[in-house]
């Protein structure tokens, strides 16, 4: 929620919240010591702006391909990796539907039935509620902003509006870091300045430059494809299934495949 006095300028509460969120996110970008520090600064700002425990941003590079751009803490990073490992969860639903997915209680109600494996593992990490917001301009979904809370409960109306504004600011940063510090929520004055780059090329560059763990996953998928004579999606599913059965992440399992400590060659 905006601090006391946020609306003292005479702005309506919604407008004051948007302005506060915009200024906070812009300051996070300006204060970052180097471009590589911007993602972490944005995630930390998300937590300051909203009544949540942690935040992460994941970028989608196509079907079944996702990397973590930033995470505010260990649990937020683990949640992002967990959804990638099991191939399910609010993040994947937000990507598929192109709409916010709000799971206010992972311990009861319909959400555990919607993502039974994810919900069970998330609760084990101390997570009680998750809110995933799709990122991308003009209806194109290029990733998600994922928020989690260690308490059961949804977002109040004003908090949700603030979260959507934060989502817009993160989208600006993803599309054009150089203009993120000067853009308000939703882009420039004409709504186009923040999105003057080719979306697919920009996202592809972040996917390529993001965590080396996921580069290893792509390489391991290629090896499993050869070993089992399957397509990429099937190979990734096999990696995910084995990783979950072993209580490990896909990234950890991929390293064993690349090091030849694990293979999927069918038995004779």
Q: How far is 140 from 142, CA to CA, in rounded Å? A: 6
Q: How far is 42 from 55, CA to CA, in rounded Å? A: 9
pLDDT at 185 (0 to 100) = 41
User: Are 137 and 171 a contacting pair, CB within 8 Å?
Assistant: yes
Q: How far is 145 from 81, CA to CA, in rounded Å? A: 14
Is 6's pLDDT higher than 70? no
CA-nearest of 210, 205, 209, 213 to 239 is: 213
Q: How far is 57 from 174, CA to CA, in rounded Å? A: 10
Alpha-helical segments (H) within 32-133: 38-49, 74-86, 90-97, 111-114, 116-124
Q: Residue ranges per domain, the chain? A: 13-198, 212-258
* 149-160 average pLDDT score: 93
Is 124's pLDDT higher than 80? yes
Q: Which of 112-121, 167-176, 202-211 has the lowest mean pLDDT?
A: 202-211
pLDDT at 18 (0 to 100) = 74
Query: For the domain 13-198, what is the CATH superfamily, name and number?
Result: GAF domain (3.30.450.40)
> 185 Cβ partners below 8 Å, 6+ apart?
18, 21, 22, 25, 165, 166, 168, 169
User: Are 71 and 55 a contacting pair, CB within 8 Å?
Assistant: yes
Summarised one tens digit per residue, pLDDT across range 77-123 is 889 888 888 888 999 899 888 899 999 999 886 666 789 889 988 99
3-class state of residue 126 by DSSP: coil
Exposure of 228 in the CB half-sphere (CA atoms within 13 A): 18
Q: Does domain 212-258 have CATH number 1.25.40?
A: no
pLDDT at 149 (0 to 100) = 97
pLDDT at 12 (0 to 100) = 64
Is 137's pLDDT higher than 80? no
Q: What mean pLDDT value characterizes the chain?
A: 77
Q: Which residue, chain included where needed, has tokens 């763990």?
A: 213
């Amino acid at each position: 929620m905006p601090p006391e006095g946020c609306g003292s300028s005479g702005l309506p509460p919604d407008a004051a919240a948007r302005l506060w969120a915009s200024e906070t996110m812009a300051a996070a970008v300006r204060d970052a010591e180097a471009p590589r520090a911007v993602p972490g600064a944005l995630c930390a700002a998300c937590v300051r702006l909203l009544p949540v425990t942690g935040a992460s941003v994941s970028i989608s590079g196509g079907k079944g391909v996702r990397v973590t751009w930033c995470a505010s803490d260990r649990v937020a990073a683990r949640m992002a990796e967990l959804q990638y490992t099991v191939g399910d969860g609010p993040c994947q639903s937000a990507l598929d539907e192109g709409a916010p997915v709000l799971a206010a209680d992972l311990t009861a109600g319909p959400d555990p039935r919607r993502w039974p494996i994810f919900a069970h593992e998330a609760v084990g990490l101390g997570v009680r509620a998750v809110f995933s917001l799709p990122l991308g301009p003009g209806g194109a979904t290029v990733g998600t902003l994922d928020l989690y809370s260690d308490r059961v409960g949804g977002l109040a109306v004003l908090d949700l509006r603030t979260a959507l504004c934060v989502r817009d600011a993160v989208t600006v940063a993803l599309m054009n870091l150089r203009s993120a510090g000067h853009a308000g929520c939703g882009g420039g004055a004409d709504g186009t300045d923040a999105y003057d780059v080719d979306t697919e090329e920009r996202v592809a560059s972040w996917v390529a430059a993001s965590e080396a763990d996921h580069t290893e996953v792509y390489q391991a998928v290629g090896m499993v494809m050869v070993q089992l004579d399957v397509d990429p999606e099937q190979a990734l599913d096999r990696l995910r299934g084995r990783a979950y059965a072993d209580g490990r992440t896909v990234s950890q399992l991929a390293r064993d495949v690349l090091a030849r400590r694990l293979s999927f060659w069918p038995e004779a």
